[in-house]
Amino acid sequence: MRRPGRPAWTAGTVESVTASVNPLIPAAYDLAWSGTALALLVLAVVALISLARSAKQLSSGQALVWTLVVIFVPALGALAWLFIGRRAARPAAVAVDRG
Protein backbone atom coordinates (compact mmCIF):
# COMPACT_ATOMS: atom_id res chain seq x y z
CA MET A 1 0.00 0.00 0.00
CA ARG A 2 1.40 3.35 -1.00
CA ARG A 3 1.49 6.10 1.59
CA PRO A 4 1.03 9.71 0.55
CA GLY A 5 4.28 11.60 0.13
CA ARG A 6 6.38 8.52 -0.69
CA PRO A 7 7.58 7.45 -4.12
CA ALA A 8 5.89 4.42 -5.62
CA TRP A 9 9.08 2.33 -5.63
CA THR A 10 9.31 2.43 -1.81
CA ALA A 11 5.83 1.06 -1.24
CA GLY A 12 6.05 -1.75 1.29
CA THR A 13 9.85 -2.03 1.41
CA VAL A 14 10.41 -0.03 4.60
CA GLU A 15 7.61 -1.76 6.46
CA SER A 16 8.85 -5.24 5.50
CA VAL A 17 12.45 -4.47 6.52
CA THR A 18 11.57 -2.91 9.86
CA ALA A 19 9.13 -5.68 10.65
CA SER A 20 11.83 -8.35 10.29
CA VAL A 21 14.47 -6.61 12.45
CA ASN A 22 14.02 -6.77 16.20
CA PRO A 23 15.55 -3.65 17.76
CA LEU A 24 15.94 -5.39 21.12
CA ILE A 25 18.36 -8.02 19.79
CA PRO A 26 21.83 -6.53 19.19
CA ALA A 27 23.62 -7.13 15.93
CA ALA A 28 26.68 -9.37 15.83
CA TYR A 29 29.08 -6.44 15.56
CA ASP A 30 27.52 -4.88 18.67
CA LEU A 31 28.22 -8.07 20.58
CA ALA A 32 31.77 -8.27 19.22
CA TRP A 33 32.61 -4.66 20.16
CA SER A 34 31.03 -5.05 23.58
CA GLY A 35 33.04 -8.22 24.20
CA THR A 36 36.24 -6.52 23.08
CA ALA A 37 35.60 -3.51 25.31
CA LEU A 38 34.85 -5.78 28.27
CA ALA A 39 38.02 -7.82 27.68
CA LEU A 40 40.14 -4.63 27.53
CA LEU A 41 38.54 -3.34 30.72
CA VAL A 42 39.21 -6.60 32.55
CA LEU A 43 42.79 -6.65 31.26
CA ALA A 44 43.39 -3.08 32.47
CA VAL A 45 41.88 -3.83 35.91
CA VAL A 46 44.01 -6.97 36.30
CA ALA A 47 47.12 -4.99 35.32
CA LEU A 48 46.31 -2.20 37.78
CA ILE A 49 45.73 -4.69 40.61
CA SER A 50 49.02 -6.41 39.79
CA LEU A 51 50.74 -3.03 39.68
CA ALA A 52 49.31 -2.06 43.06
CA ARG A 53 50.59 -5.29 44.59
CA SER A 54 54.05 -4.76 43.13
CA ALA A 55 54.27 -1.06 43.96
CA LYS A 56 56.51 -1.67 46.99
CA GLN A 57 59.32 -2.92 44.75
CA LEU A 58 59.03 0.11 42.44
CA SER A 59 60.02 3.70 43.02
CA SER A 60 57.14 6.15 43.15
CA GLY A 61 58.12 7.52 39.74
CA GLN A 62 58.14 4.08 38.16
CA ALA A 63 54.78 3.21 39.69
CA LEU A 64 53.29 6.47 38.44
CA VAL A 65 54.61 5.97 34.91
CA TRP A 66 53.36 2.38 34.73
CA THR A 67 49.96 3.42 36.07
CA LEU A 68 49.63 6.18 33.48
CA VAL A 69 50.72 3.82 30.69
CA VAL A 70 48.16 1.19 31.73
CA ILE A 71 45.37 3.78 31.96
CA PHE A 72 46.07 5.79 28.79
CA VAL A 73 47.22 2.91 26.55
CA PRO A 74 44.87 0.20 27.82
CA ALA A 75 45.69 -2.81 25.65
CA LEU A 76 49.41 -2.33 25.06
CA GLY A 77 50.09 -0.77 28.47
CA ALA A 78 48.40 -3.58 30.37
CA LEU A 79 50.13 -6.27 28.33
CA ALA A 80 53.48 -4.51 28.69
CA TRP A 81 53.09 -4.38 32.47
CA LEU A 82 51.99 -8.01 32.73
CA PHE A 83 54.80 -9.37 30.54
CA ILE A 84 57.67 -6.90 31.10
CA GLY A 85 57.03 -4.69 34.12
CA ARG A 86 56.23 -7.41 36.65
CA ARG A 87 59.48 -9.20 35.92
CA ALA A 88 61.47 -6.00 36.33
CA ALA A 89 59.69 -5.23 39.62
CA ARG A 90 60.57 -8.57 41.23
CA PRO A 91 63.38 -8.44 43.74
CA ALA A 92 66.50 -10.33 42.71
CA ALA A 93 66.79 -13.82 44.12
CA VAL A 94 69.32 -14.17 46.89
CA ALA A 95 71.96 -16.79 46.16
CA VAL A 96 72.39 -19.34 48.92
CA ASP A 97 75.88 -20.80 49.43
CA ARG A 98 75.53 -24.53 50.06
CA GLY A 99 79.15 -25.17 50.32
Q: For residue 40, give the H/E element and its range.
A: helix 28-53
Whether the CB-CB separation of 35 and 4 falls below 8 Å is answered with no
Condensed to tens digits (0 to 9), the pLDDT of residues 39-78 reads 999 999 999 999 999 888 888 899 999 999 999 998 999 9
Q: What is the pTM of this model?
A: 0.63
Q: How many CB atoms neighbour CB 73 within 10 A?
A: 13
Condensed to tens digits (0 to 9), the pLDDT of residues 8-41 reads 666 555 555 555 777 777 888 888 999 999 999 9
Give the pLDDT score at 90: 67
